[in-house]
Structure 1
């Protein structure tokens, strides 16, 4: 595609996302339709659908644009490089996921993200097709994989002596992070989510360290 066409398309998408974000500030995400965005932009229906096939695609693009792709991975990598006790690194790495969520929720994209989590919490088909394409979800999944990899290495070294199988710890961690993320979306409606996130990730970290046969000191 010639550059002028690429720039034209990018400008159109940027304007559509800008209008979608404005619409979100005016009413809840679950009430926003493609019609609302068409009216906001002043574009024809055909123009909007040329760039986005449905409103989910617009929500997804808006969230991903406001979600830096490597922030959490960089934070986890830094923690792994520190000269600290392994248990402290695990504890701080798990809490880094909570810090990541807290920072994101203060952006417009973050507010849309948590609206999506609530909207699709009980829609398994959309949950799988939309949520897995979120940079937010990918970052959390990658962080968990790196933390589990670090834990596995230190089990092999004899640093951690788990009291339950590692696979159970992995399942527990995945379920807990998913649950906290969804609950955060609900809590954010009542403006109590930052404290909730800190408390829940600290509790999760302590539980994992307990399962690993150690405890936060």
Structure 2
């Protein structure tokens, strides 16, 4: 009889594969990655990897989901911490990510979104839409919390501000990837972004 494998063990093995796959996608992009690359990076057999994932597309979607969990943690409510400071922590993280843009999933994400398999069969990849909506809802909820606590007097609907935040950063990341941080003037762009948030959110007081 084969020994039973705990759920914790299976989850850790899955995460190990995802971490390895993330490194491969960063290094090679999406279109040039094959399952063998992921097996080699993870140091696992074909059977071990296919026990968790069907193909490269499946792995990539799960890598996105894995990454998104970290991003959304920035927007978990903390009653001891002002919402504005929470947003600024997120902006600071974006600045760090932009400084390491060549070591990010930006290329792989762009290649996936432009791939024929996604363009011609979007309904097969519901998580792409779900992750956007989840991020909008999570950010919007944090902004509403700031409004309820008397920190903000938003001039627009919180979800509209959240969509602006996502679009601005996604565009800046893509531009910075192919033009470089000097050309895109990342610090100045982020300062402009913060000033625009000040106008949209109209903070009653900002602690520095």
Q: In structure 2, do the counterparts of structure 1 residues 12 and 209 end up closer, same or farther at CA, with 3 Å as the change threshold?
A: closer
Q: Does 1:43 align with 2:31?
A: no
Give 3-state SS (helix, strand or coil) of 1:56's partner: helix
* Contact residue 76 and residue 96 of structure 1 kept, 8 A: no
C-alpha displacement at 1:6, in angstroms? Answer: 3.9
Listed one character per residue, the Cα deviations across residues 16-60 of structure 1 (whole Å, up to 9, x for unaligned) are 33542453354223321334334655623x543320123233234
Listed one character per residue, the Cα deviations across residues 143-167 of structure 1 (whole Å, up to 9, x for unaligned) are 4421233225539xxx84x6x5x33
C-alpha displacement at 1:102, in angstroms? Answer: 3.4
Which consecutive residues of structure 2, in runs of 5 or more, have no partner in the other structure? none
TM-score of the superposed pair, with normalisation by structure 1: 0.59
Q: In structure 2, do the counterparts of structure 1 residues 16 and 129 end up closer, same or farther at CA, with 3 Å as the change threshold?
A: same
Match of residue 167 from structure 2: 179
Calculate the aligned-residue CA RMSD, in Å.
4.5
Q: Report the count of equivalent residues.
A: 193
* Contact residue 25 and residue 33 of structure 2 kept, 8 A: yes
C-alpha displacement at 1:209, in angstroms? Answer: 3.4
Match of residue 59 from structure 1: 60
Match of residue 107 from structure 2: 115
TM-score of the superposed pair, with normalisation by structure 2: 0.61
* Contact residue 95 and residue 198 of structure 1 kept, 8 A: no
Superposed counterparts of 1:68-107, under 5 Å: 68=70, 71-73=73-75, 77-80=79-82, 90=84, 92-103=85-96
Separation in 1 of the partners of 2:134 and 2:99?
A: 19
Which consecutive residues of structure 1, in runs of 5 or more, have no partner in the other structure? 81-88
Separation in 1 of the partners of 2:141 and 2:186?
A: 20
* Contact residue 121 and residue 182 of structure 1 kept, 8 A: no
Match of residue 30 from structure 2: 29
